A and B are shown apart, each in its own frame.
Chain A
Amino acid sequence: MNAQPNHPEILQAVSKTGDLLAQQGVVDVVRLVIAGGVAGLFNGLTRTTADCDVLWSGDEEIWVQIATAAAQVADELGLPSTWLNKDCSIYADCFPLGWGDRVESVGCYGPLEVCRVSRFDLIASKLVSSPSRPQDLADIHDLKPTPEELGLLEKHLDRLASEHLDGHDYDAQRVVLHSLRSEQ
């Protein structure tokens, strides 16, 4: 699904942030990959929040410039000052290999090229957090993974387990996966 999310205010906020950066003389294209609530909205979830969690691996100085502009826009629109944040970036390793190649375009706003993680990558990240985040398990149910996606999710867990430095086996996530299969 590639519908526009029912939250024009957030797209307006992204657009204004891009405008502000352009006014400040930022000309180089900056890619923002959205992975949180807004990515869920683009994938058809309706009971989610409209904050923008960004997977960021770029230069910290550039991020500060973006976050400062976003906070200015927040003040203008009455949004939380951290509506655009990169807190989820520490979980980037939980995404399946190649997620960066599968991102889908949302649009360009001034120098900001905004993308979102793919449906499969969103489901995979939610599977990893589902044992301790009931809202993520609820989202997976709403997204209705296909049998093919469930197979790929198992491979994803296998890879994460094989690469985990402390030997984490992702048993809880496998139990969740098993329950999803039993519901098919």
Chain B
Amino acid sequence: MEDKWQYLLVLGGCLLITLPLELFGQGVYRQPRRLLCALLPVLVVFLAWDAIAIAAEVWTYNPRYISGVNVPFMPLEELLFFIVIPLCALLTYSAVNAVLGILRDRPNRTVGESRR
């Protein structure tokens, strides 16, 4: 495997590992509108921050480990990072919420959150 796919493979691995979490509860990918509305505003802010940091050389990317495909201001991988990582977090939260909900609704409540 060529080194230049490393960053993309890391991101792909993140998506793959979190994919089964979609099965819990209402999922994330199944609510595309809600997903877009949560992701887009944050994406805009962080991409602007990232573009400035790259322009100011606060951080750079090792050309050996990236595909070489560029989107404006940054490597493709960096844009994908800001989509993939929040997706993983949303899937995690959605699944944890679903599991806690199942535990809470069982007759013998093991995870006891007192109902208000």
Q: Real complex partners, A and B?
A: no
> Which residues of B come within 8 Å of A, CB atoms?
none
Which A residues are closer than 8 A to B by beta carbons? none
